[in-house]
Chains A and B, each alone.
Chain A
Amino acid sequence: GDSVTQMEGPVTLSEEAFLTINCTYTATGYPSLFWYVQYPGEGLQLLLKATKADDKGSNKGFEATYRKETTSFHLEKGSVQVSDSAVYFCALSETGTASKLTFGTGTRLQVTL
């Protein structure tokens, strides 16, 4: 079945540091890929997405590129802020199952001054 593997957390960075959160996936079809973010006490919200190979999703300074050859969708940001502290989830949805999301376990990011 489908699965998503993302790096363990927590990740602790100083403000303005470079962020990478690794995400790889296994899927039988040709999935769409997502990063969702969960701020403390809130639900998940979409951060960015990519629906086909080599697409780059971007939002709020975050970027991720859909790499079919390595089945990866790593999240990056050049300079993190304290306000980026949250839990980040990588997820996929298969073409055949349309809207169902399969999530990774989440990576907690803490950014300090």
Chain B
Amino acid sequence: EAQVTQNPRYLITVTGKKLTVTCSQNMNHEYMSWYRQDPGLGLRQIYYSMNVEVTDKGDVPEGYKVSRKEKRNFPLILESPSPNQTSLYFCASSFFRSGTEAFFGQGTRLTVV
């Protein structure tokens, strides 16, 4: 079954404690990205990757890091989380061409206290 898998689904952490949210896809997609969803703001892109070892900033990259060492995996790293990073996070993957469907993970609800 084609899918994007994110873990964990829920996470509560304290300010400053490094965390990683994992994302894996099984569709051989080149393009992967991370979005955060906040009320009234829709989804905003944090980082994206066009292929292995190729990553770039999206619209709201501050406070986040990513890596793409393998085609299937695209972890999101918060090295020093702050309360304003409390949000719902989605990983997505697709083929790298215009008009193509993006597949989303089920989301990670992060709370930073």
Residues of chain A touching chain B, judged by Cβ–Cβ distance below 8 Å, are 4, 32, 36, 41-46, 49, 51, 89, 93-95, 98-101, 103-106
Contacts and interface: CB of A to CB of B under 8 A. Distances in A.
Contacts of B58: 100
A112 B81 CA distance: 40
A86 to B, nearest CB: 14
B64 interface: no
Contacts of A46: 101-102
Contacts, number: 62
Contact of B42 (A32, A94, A98, A104): A104
B4 interface: yes
Interface string B53-66: 00000100000000
Interface string B33-77: 101000011111100100000000010000000000000000000
A99 B31 contact: yes
Interface of B: 4, 31, 33, 35, 40-45, 48, 58, 90, 92, 94-102, 104-107
Contact of B106 (A42, A100, A103, A104): A42
B98 A51 contact: yes
B97 A98 contact: yes
Contact of A45 (B42, B99, B104): B104
A36 B40 CA distance: 16
A40 to B, nearest CB: 11
Contacts of B95: 99
A43 B6 CA distance: 10
Contacts of B99: 32, 49, 51, 93
Contacts of B48: 99-100
A99 B100 contact: yes
B43 A43 contact: no
A78 B102 CA distance: 26
A45 B90 CA distance: 12
A87 B43 CA distance: 12
Give the top 8 A-B pairs by smallest Cβ distance, nearest first: A43-B104, A32-B99, A51-B99, A99-B31, A103-B42, A105-B42, A103-B43, A44-B104
